[in-house]
Amino acid sequence: MKRSLALIVTLASGFVLSAAAQTPAATAAAPGPAKIAVIAFQVAVAQTNEGQRNFADLQKKFDPRRQQLKVLSDEVDSLTKQLQAGADKMPPAEQQSKATAIDTKKKQLDRDGQDATNDFQQEMQDVYNALASKVYDVMQSYAELKGYTLVLDVSQQQSPVLYASTSTNITKDIIDAYNVKSGIPAPPAGATSGVDAPKPTPRTGPRQPAAPATH
């Protein structure tokens, strides 16, 4: 069942798992000591083989728009330099014409850049949500198997965890477990260069992945 990102992060940051083993009701044993693990959940999602592949594919999808924005940005820079260099030699009407052209292209650049950023963020969020729900299921099964009663997400901006020993960090274990379950091979070396893991936003709203540079 698909979960929203907010639900996934909330659950992943403090989900109390059910007891791994239950004795008959008539002879129920007293609960044992808590066993706690920590995970950088966003990192785990992004660093799975599937995550690296999907995020790299999304970057490639937006490359043409990124290139279009760069061309437009270069045009604005070129026209601006021309106007500055020849302002004292141009008639006022020509200066005004070039200034108007520059202003028009700047507005187009801002508008197209914002549209590209919004579209990228939305698609990145969709990719992250779909994968995060599957990684969460693997994490839950792993925690139950290992007897963890609490898993805390240390990738939150306001994580309550001040210290955790490396032995309690299950991030790599979950990445490895998910890679085995998905059967997706690791991407070729260099195939994911420049692809950032999704970055958190304040806890009051859904986490938004990083957007690509537009100009």
- Distances, alpha carbon 78 to alpha carbons 81, 105, 107, 123, 215, in Å: 5, 11, 16, 33, 14
The pLDDT of 132-136, averaged and rounded, is 97
The pLDDT score that the predictor gives to residue 31 is 65
Q: Which two tokens stand for residue 139?
A: 């994490």
- Cβ atoms of residues 133 and 2 within 8 Å: yes
Read off the pLDDT of residues 87-116 as tens digits, 9 standing for 90 and up: 778 888 888 888 899 999 999 999 999 999
The domain tally of the chain equals 1
- Cβ atoms of residues 215 and 112 within 8 Å: no
Asked if residue 9 is part of any domain, the answer here is yes
The pLDDT score that the predictor gives to residue 83 is 83
The pLDDT score that the predictor gives to residue 10 is 39
User: How far apart are alpha carbons 124 and 62 in whole angstroms?
Assistant: 11
Asked if residue 213 is part of any domain, the answer here is no
3-class DSSP assignment, residue 186: coil
The pLDDT score that the predictor gives to residue 193 is 55
**How much is the pTM?**
0.69
Asked if residue 201 is part of any domain, the answer here is no
Nearest alpha-carbon partner for 39 in 140, 141, 154, 145: 154
Read off the pLDDT of residues 15-47 as tens digits, 9 standing for 90 and up: 333 333 333 444 445 566 889 999 999 999 999
Mean pLDDT over all residues of the chain?
A: 80
Residue 9's domain comprises 5-182
User: How far apart are alpha carbons 117 and 138 in whole angstroms?
Assistant: 31
Read off the pLDDT of residues 174-202 as tens digits, 9 standing for 90 and up: 999 999 999 999 998 776 654 554 543 33
